[in-house]
Amino acid sequence: MDLWAMVDRGPRRYWKTFGRRIDLDGRHSWLRAPVLTEVDGVVEDNWLRAEAERVDGRIEDNPEAGLLADIRTLGGASASRSTIAFWHHSSRLSLRPISFAPEKLSTTDV
């Protein structure tokens, strides 16, 4: 068995033992993850419009837009300049995909 699969078993067993069921179609719907809309596509932003429609949201195609119009919405009036810039201008950011799962994990890596 792959070592990474063995490492993954621990948290899964924990949550199956001590976790609780959630209702993804009701009270806990905010936990639902975005879903790829094209079968053989690449996960980029192709799920955003469908998700916005599902939650009665909207997409603003403004390159200066941010996740929040005003940081005070979060009670963060005293946040650092970089934190405020992130929330107010997140559309400027370029995100690169990374992987946290190692290609091969050997017992010497643990």
The DSSP code sequence of 22-83 is --TTTTTGGGPPP--SSTTS--SSTTHHHHHHHTT------TT--S-S-GGGGT-TT--HHH
Contact 75, 84 (CB under 8 A): no
Per-residue pLDDT of the chain (110 residues; tens, 9 = 90+): 678 888 889 999 998 999 988 998 899 888 887 766 565 666 667 677 778 887 888 887 777 778 777 877 777 667 788 888 888 888 777 766 666 655 555 555 44
Kind and range of the H or E run holding 20: none
**pLDDT score, position 110:** 46
**pLDDT tens, position by position, 67-93:** 777 877 777 667 788 888 888 888 777
